[in-house]
Structure formats: C-alpha cells, structure tokens
Structure 1
Amino acid sequence: MTRQRQLQTVQLAALIAMALLCLYGAHLGWLTSTARIQTLVNEAGWLAPVAFILLQIIQVVFPIIPGGLTTVAGVAIFGPAWGFVYNYIGIGIGSVAAFCLTRHYGRDFLGALVPQKFMTKYGRWLAGGKSFDRMFTIAILLPVAPDDFLCMLAGLTQMSLRRFVTIIVLAKPWTILAYSLGLSAVIHALG
C-alpha cells in the first residue's frame, strides 16, 4: 500500500470514528444542546480543554472536518475567551506540525491529504520565493483562506521554520479572534 493510500485510509478511519462518536454522543443525549455539552465539559474538568486542543491539532494535520466547525465548537463550548485560547493553541501547534511533516515527507505527504485542485491552484505560489512569504502571511490573516493546506504548502518552500512560526504567532490570532467574536455574537443572537 502506498503512503498516499495509507494516509487516505487513516483519514477515512478518523472520519468514521468521529461520526460514530457523534452518533453515540447524540444517542446518550450529550450533543442535544449547548447546555448539555457544557455540563459534560465541566464534568470532564481539565481533560476537556486538552481533548479539544488535541482535536484541533489533528484536524489541522489531517483535515477530516472543517476547521471552521471546530472553531465554532470551541466558542460554543468554552465561551469566546477560553474558546479563542484553546483554538489558538491547537491550531497553532497543528499548523507547525503540518509544516514540519510536509517539510520532512514532501509533496507525497501533501498530495495524500489534499485534493489535486488545491495543488494546481496554489502550486504556482511555490516558485514565488519571498513573495510566497508575503502571500502566505496575507492568506493567514484572511478568515476564508485554506490555512491548513497553506501551512503544508509552506513546508515545501524555502521558508524557515522560525519565519513560519513567527507568521503563525503574529497573524493567526486575528483570524481566530474574528471567528471567536463573530461566532459568539451569532450564538448569543440565536440563543
């Protein structure tokens, strides 16, 4: 089995496991309201934030669920302040992990995780040198950019790990903060 097939198998298994876990949680009544989810989180204590941060790390490296969904979940479950903190920690660590894994395993790793259309669309950025760094920074600041993929793509460039981490540390919080505040307003308006 090729590395690409192995990674796709892992992604599919993780997606099935997440679906089964959600169905099980819904069956037990854990996922029927925000209040019940918050009660479950409070009962879990310190394990809840740790599990959520791990989920964020995994969803960045192995994009099986949209990051926007988990960001919403963080805000809904932990509130806008702690939701922001846990989202930022998990997404930041996951972004660095995605960069490093792609740097180590190369184009095959990236090709196994993302559709070819992304490689075609953004692959031309790879020849950009320093202009890639500027485009990457701007894209990380935009809430609609495919950040996880772009972090992996950055791993194929000459960008240093130090420069990558600096961009993530300085640019990523603004997008997560925008999501956290915007989603918090929506949740309160609906609630």
Structure 2
Amino acid sequence: MNKKKIIKLLWHFFTILTLLISVLFIIYGLQQDIFYSERALETFFEKFGIWAPILFIIFQIIQVILPVVPGAIGCLGGILIFGPIYGLIYNYIGICIGSIATYSIARNYGTSFISFLVSKRVRLKYQEWVNHRRFDFLFTLAIFSPIAPDDYLCFLAGTTKMKYLKFISIILVGKPLPITIYSFGLEWIFRQIILWL
C-alpha cells in the first residue's frame, strides 16, 4: 500500500471519527438544551475550567460543519461566556477552522456529501454560482457579508477549482468583519430582550 492510499485511509478514518463524535455531542446537546439556551451553554462550558476555550472552539467548528446547530448560539455564547475580546477571538478561530474543514470535506467527497447536510432549497438557490465565471469574486463578497449562508458556500467552494491557498486567504481576511458584526449584533439584541423582560 503506497503512502497516498495510507493518507487517504487515515483521512477517511478521522473524518468518520469526527462525524461520530459530532453526532454524539449533538445528541447530548439536544438532551441538555445546549444548542437552544445560552445559559445552558455557559453552564456546560464552566465545568471544564481552562479547557473551556478549546471545547468552545471545537463547538464552533462543529456548528459550521453540521448546519443543524444554529450558528447564532455559538457566536452569542462566545461573547457572553468569554467576554467581548476573547469571545470574538474564539469565535473567529472556530469558525475559520470549521470553514476550512467544510471546504476540505467537499473537496474529498463532492456534492453527494453536501446533499446530505444541506437542504435542496438552499442547494438549488446557490448551485448556479458554481458555473459562474466570477464565482471566486461572488464567494469573496458573500464571505464578507454577515447574512450570507457562508457555511454552505464553503462546501460549494470545495466543489469548484478554487485553490486551497486562495480559499484560506479569503476566509482568514473576510471572516473578522462579519463575525464581529454578527456576534455583537446578537449580543445587543440579547441585552435588549433581557431588559424588556
């Protein structure tokens, strides 16, 4: 067995392992209301002390890869749990790693895997982007936007001819602004709701 096949087998093994762990965590999270309650999320991470940031980053990676987890919970949770500076940093790290992971998954497994995770409505809406000659430009604009479905677009980018280095550069440069707007915007809304209640 040559080195290329060994690397491919290891990739498949770790992908399956990661997906299995993600599924188990999601089941646990649904049972404990972690994905639907900021308070439950905060209580969950407080148990882990200094490991909390690492676990939170992993949580953010999972919510990017698996769209069943609402991204708003993680972004808001980061600010509420770790404060505005560290919360924003952890959000950025987790979301960037998750975005790169989605691109890599699509690169290796193609559209069949995407169809398993993303609804048909969303796929049809953005599928024409793939054939657009300015896909890279459209993708970059979308990544800079706080309202675009960039998790799916990262999957979509993995099915195109976009190079790894270009994709990673767009993600690293484009993510800070929308993550900041999204995170602090959600925090402001959350504070207003608390005051209203």
**TM-score (norm: length of structure 2):** 0.78
Letter in 2 for 1:126: V
Give 1:168's match in structure 2, choosing from 168, 171, 193: 171
User: Mapping of 1:84-123 within 5 angstroms?
Assistant: 84-123=88-127
Distance in 2, matches of 1:109 and 1:45, equals 36
Aligned match for 1:132, one of 125, 132, 135: 135
Deviations 1:120-166 (A, max 9, x none): 1100000113x111111111111111111010000011100100000
The question of whether the paired residues in 2 share the 8 Å contact of 1:71 and 1:179 is answered with yes
Distance 2:53 2:26 in 1: 21
User: 1:186: how far off?
Assistant: 3.7
Using the alignment, how far apart are the partners of 2:33 and 2:70 within structure 1?
Answer: 15
5+ long unaligned stretches in structure 2 = 1-15
Sequence identity (%): 39
**Conserved? CA contact 1:110–1:152, under 8 Å:** yes
Q: Is the 8 A contact 1:102 1:153 kept in 2?
A: yes
**1:97/1:12 Cα in 2 relative to 1: closer, same or farther (>3 Å)?**
closer
Which piece of structure 1 moves more, 67-76 or 169-178?
67-76
Letter in 2 for 1:133: D
How many equivalent residue pairs? 174
**What displacement does 1:185 show?**
3.4
The aligned runs of 1:7-18 (5 Å cut-off) are 15-18=26-29
> Could you tell me which residue of structure 1 aligns to residue 7 of structure 2?
none
2:33 matched to which residue of 1? 22
**d(CA) in 1 for partners of 2:45 and 2:64?**
22
Relative contact order, higher structure (CA 8 A, sep 6+): 1
> 1:182 offset after TM fit, Å?
2.3
CA RMSD of aligned residues (A): 2.6
Q: Which residue of 2 aligns with 1:31?
A: 39
Which among 162, 165, 168 is matched to residue 159 of structure 1?
A: 162
1:65 and 2:73 matched: no
**8 Å contact from structure 2 (residues 79, 183) kept in 1:** yes
- Provide the TM-score with structure 1 as the length reference: 0.80
Moved more, 115-124 or 60-69: 60-69
Does the CA contact (< 8 Å) of 1:76 and 1:187 recur in 2? no
Establish whether residue 179 from structure 1 lines up as the match of residue 182 from structure 2: yes
Equivalent residue, structure 1, for 2:57: 53
What's 1:3 paired with?
A: none
